[in-house]
Chains A and B, each alone.
Chain A
Amino acid sequence: MKVMLCQNCKLKEATVSITRFIGGKKEELHLCKDCAEELLGGGDFLNFDFSLPDLLGTLLKQASLPRWEEIKHPTVKCPKCGLSYEGFQEIGKLGCSECYKTFRSKLTPLIKRIHGNMKHSGKVPHRAGEELNRLREIEKLRRELEEAIRKEEYEKAAELRDKIRELEGRRV
């Protein structure tokens, strides 16, 4: 079977399909997960269990869909505050905490140049730290759950699912 390649990078396998209507014309877009995340400013919704209707719904809600011809050289904008990297370069300030995720690959060398270091080794806030640990734990359990389902260990899977639900419910 021939693998469909991502229409943006033309390197990786396209696993995300997006249908949209522009001027009454139906267009279909096939992207790899990485490109979809980058182009569509993907937040966490692409990370776990996303389903196509959800993704589409989110996309359609976004006011500024990338135009077809812009896809190849898109201006990536922070999904939370709308700042682009060019905007950051102009004002020298980032717009929100999500900007650090959105522009991570560009900010990393910049921050390394400024500080000569890359890893925070100072104080860790209690709450954000706790949240971080909670998310990490959920991620780990999800992997275990997939494994359990694959091995058809349904009892264990049920246990894991309960644990995940409990952790997800415990927002700080």
Chain B
Amino acid sequence: MNVDEVKLEWIKGIGPNSTIALSSRIRLARNLRDYPFPSVAKKRDLEGVVQRIKDVLAQDPYFKPFTLIMLSDLNDLEREALVEKHMISPDHAKSGNKREGALLLENEGVLSMMINEEDHLRIQCFLGGLQLSEAWRIIDRFDSILEKHIDYAFDEEFGYLTACPTNVGTGMRASVMLHLPGLVLSKKIGRVIEEVSKIGLTVRGIYGEGSEAMGNLFQLSNQITLGLSEEEIIDKLEKIALRVIEEEELTRKHLFKTKGIELEDSLWRAYGILKNARLISSKEAMELLSKVRMGVDIGLLPSIDKYKFNELLIKIRPAHLQLSVGRELSPEERDKIRADLIRESLN
């Protein structure tokens, strides 16, 4: 199995509002009733969990297009690449190889499932654009089929039982990845973060902390998992996401009107650098790609397929760069290969 070739459906850039909403993601935390949770489980218990899943996979034809990977069968670089793809968490990459960690992958890169992370199962559905309802439909089906074969830890009052009480209830975290350069540039992002947090949602930078998001990429997600139904959580999140998207669009128009030539110059320069640089750091690349993407969105720069931007977000990251050449690279070597890759993609 070639990790850098593992597919991801969302990067195709298909789906409603996929200009600003790059992806919609839902994850469900589930545990097997009869095994201790991974944090206290013995190796034998963790093996038991993996075996239960293997049995289910073999039993039900629904799981034919899925592949199970033991993290211990991968090297550090490959595990890191899965983190860069948001298929596994950094924690899972770090300790999963020693603790019977596994990943179940669906061929098209829509569904995946971490096994023996913080919870026994962390199911994930990843789609392009703003389509949380569709993601919920898909993951709900997967979950129901899986549950035909295994007993989940469930409590009438607390709902799905999870290792951490912050996840009980639906066990669901739904999120939308948003590209918000306009709100960052106009310094409105702080207010948006504040307002959203008042209604039980959170916004945070995807690569970075707080409002210091690398590449102006933010994740909008639900905080509360107990007391609301999955549909209610998704509905609320989708409505707020639409409002943020609208605000971003209006802000871009306004910026373009007031900053005119200044903004135009900055976007064209970004385009020029990406098309000509011979060395580029990950941080600079993310910053400039964000500008070029916005430039393309508003029709200022020549059209570039969203697929290319989405793909670059992942391919320019360290583990993917190293996997693409099949060896470890020094930071300087990475900067060169990264610049080559971007030039090749944009020219």
Interface residues of A (CB under 8 A from B): 80-83, 91-97, 100-101, 107, 110-111, 114-129, 131-132
Contacts and interface: CB of A to CB of B under 8 A. Distances in A.
Interface string B131-166: 000000000100110011011111111111101111
Given A96-B40, A117-B224, A117-B227, 20 more contacts: A80-B36, A83-B40, A95-B36, A97-B155, A101-B155, A114-B166, A116-B224, A117-B226, A118-B227, A119-B157, A120-B156, A120-B169, A120-B226, A122-B169, A122-B172, A123-B229, A125-B160, A126-B147, A126-B148, A129-B154
Interface residues of B, number: 41
Contacts of B168: 111, 115, 120
B33 A122 contact: no
Interface in B175-210: 200
B219 interface: no
B170 A123 contact: yes
Instruction: Determine chain A's interface SS by DSSP, over half rule.
Output: loop
B143 to A, nearest CB: 8
Nearest to A114: B166
B156 A132 contact: yes
Contacts of B155: 97, 100-101, 120
B36 A118 contact: no
Contacts of B143: 123
A93 B157 contact: no
Contacts of A92: 164
24 contacts: A82-B40, A93-B40, A95-B36, A96-B36, A96-B37, A100-B158, A111-B165, A111-B226, A115-B169, A115-B226, A117-B169, A118-B227, A120-B156, A120-B158, A120-B169, A122-B169, A122-B228, A122-B229, A123-B229, A125-B160, A126-B147, A127-B147, A128-B154, A132-B154
Interface of B: 31, 33, 35-37, 39-40, 118, 140, 143-144, 147-148, 150-161, 163-166, 168-170, 172, 200, 224-230
Contacts of A131: 151
B303 to A, nearest CB: 42
A97 B31 contact: yes
A121 B37 contact: no
A95 B40 contact: yes
Given A80-B36, A95-B36, A117-B224, A128 B152 contact: yes
A93 B163 contact: yes
A93 B227 contact: no
A118 B157 contact: yes
Cβ-closest 5 pairs across A and B: A117-B227, A120-B159, A97-B153, A128-B154, A95-B40
Given A120-B157, A120-B227, A121-B228, A93 B118 contact: yes
Given A93-B37, A96-B36, A122 B170 contact: yes
Given A96-B36, A107-B165, A120 B151 contact: no
A138 B227 CA distance: 28
Nearest to A103: B165
Nearest to B169: A120
A97 B154 CA distance: 8
A94 to B, nearest CB: 6
A116 B307 CA distance: 40
B147 A125 contact: yes
